[in-house]
Amino acid sequence: MSPPWTAPVRLHEIPRTVRLEPDAAARAQIAAALGLESLPELTAQLTVAPWMDGVEISGRFDAVVEQICAVSLEAFTHPLHGEISVRAAPAGSPQAPDAEGGEIDYDPEAPDPPDVLAGDTLDLAGYLVEHLALEIDPFARKPGATFDYIPDAEPESPFAVLKAFGEPKP
């Protein structure tokens, strides 16, 4: 599957600051890819800087997303904000994770390992869309929407007719 929008940067073009703002057609493709009703706004200010023999991407994004309320099933828009902090290293780099699939020690407090770059280009839009997807609430609730559940009346027990005979007397 091809990405909905791309913003490639060649590694020899860093360091730089980049402002990303997809056009309406690209936002529509991103919205469709992420299961949103629409994506009225999406902007990001990213800094791409050298890191070891790779690159570090940092910055923040602001978006307005339109989703369906999980309670009322009505469409509503709300703002999302997020931070991006990613490191990437070229394949074969000492900083790149082991590609042979050996045993992995997982430390939840440690920073994420760097992404492995396939070539000399990285796609900033891909990182932006990925981080936007992480901020989207899959069960978004429209402000003020309440869930009023009224259970069905309990069905009558098959033994209810026995109650008509009354309680046994000792």
The pLDDT tens digits of the residues spanning 11-63 come to 777 778 899 999 999 999 999 999 999 999 999 999 999 888 888 999 999 99
pTM of the model: 0.78
Interatomic CA distance for residues 65 and 158, integer angstroms: 52
Any idea what DSSP says for residue 96?
S
Pair type for strands 75-90 and 54-68: antiparallel
Calculate mean pLDDT across residues 81-109: 77
Q: State the pLDDT confidence band at 166, using cuts at 50, 70 and 90.
A: low
**In this model, does residue 1 exceed pLDDT 70?**
no
Element (H, E) at 133: helix 124-135
More confident residue, 5 or 65: 65
Task: Please give the pLDDT value at position 51.
Answer: 85
Question: Is the Cβ–Cβ distance between 42 and 63 less than 8 Å?
Answer: yes
Full domain range(s) for residue 87: 8-163
Residue 2 included in any domain: no
Beta bridge partners of 60: 45, 83
Any idea what DSSP says for residue 143?
T
Residue 65 included in any domain: yes
Residue 169 included in any domain: no
Residue 3 included in any domain: no
Residue 61 included in any domain: yes
Residue 168 included in any domain: no
Task: Please give the pLDDT value at position 68.
Answer: 95
Residue 56 included in any domain: yes
Interatomic CA distance for residues 42 and 73, integer angstroms: 24
Task: Please give the pLDDT value at position 98.
Answer: 66
Element (H, E) at 83: strand 75-90
Q: Residue 114's CB: how many other CB atoms inside 10 A?
A: 20
**pLDDT tens-digit profile of 102-139?**
566 777 887 788 888 888 888 899 999 999 999 999 99
| Structural domain total, the chain | 1
**In this model, does residue 99 exceed pLDDT 60?**
no
